[in-house]
Amino acid sequence: MGCVFMFIITISRKQIRVAVLLIFAVALFLAVLIYLLTGSGSREDRKAISCNANLDNSSFVRFLASSGNIQKNIEIFDIVKGEVVKTSAVTPDIKSLAISYLNNLKNLYVKVNAFPDKGYIIKIPIDPPAKVQHALLNDYGITQVNEVFVIFPMNEEPYLLVLDRNYSPFFYNFEGATDRIERLLTSSIRTEK
């Protein structure tokens, strides 16, 4: 008393083409990734694909990871040295300046390698966290910010790093004067020598 079930599956040519293209795209991506990660690609290719993977185990990652523990001081991180070179108390003036940067975001910072090889990163804690109403932040679920990272690459304009609640990084170009923060930075460089 067996029952026999028959299923008829219909697949259109369009569905087959889409599936073949998808399989081809995944295979191509994996082949390029393996090629670059095994060292067969050029140095520039590997650098572009890794998005600065050399920072994975560096003190820079520890610097960013410490963002979960709200520091009460501004920290200036020297990218070349791989360490915090100065701490300074947060003044209401610097705190309001950091919040103004968040309110004056221009667009996403779009470079493959968002972390420069040389320069400084200034971590500015915002306590209590600032509520933000800006589409560039809110569209990614960021409604309040408890710290801002101002990145000063060598020979380029500064830009911001903001972490969401899952510590995913978002980089932004912004409008605003950075001279007060740069004074902090230059005093840090003078005290190092």
Which tens digits make up the pLDDT trace of 82-116?
Answer: 888 988 888 888 898 999 999 999 998 888 778 88
53-192 sits in which CATH class?
alpha beta
Q: What is the mean pLDDT of residues 65-70?
A: 54
> Residue 55 — very low, low, confident or very high, per pLDDT cuts 50/70/90?
very low
Q: Return the domain boundaries, the chain.
A: 13-50, 53-192
Residue 22: CA count within 13 A, CB half-sphere: 6
Q: Which helix (H) or strand (E) holds 174?
A: strand 169-174
Work out the mean pLDDT of the chain and round it to a whole number.
75
List CB contacts of 170: < 8 A, sequence separation 6 or more. Answer: 108, 137, 140, 142, 161, 162, 163, 164
Does the structure show a pLDDT above 50 at 163?
yes
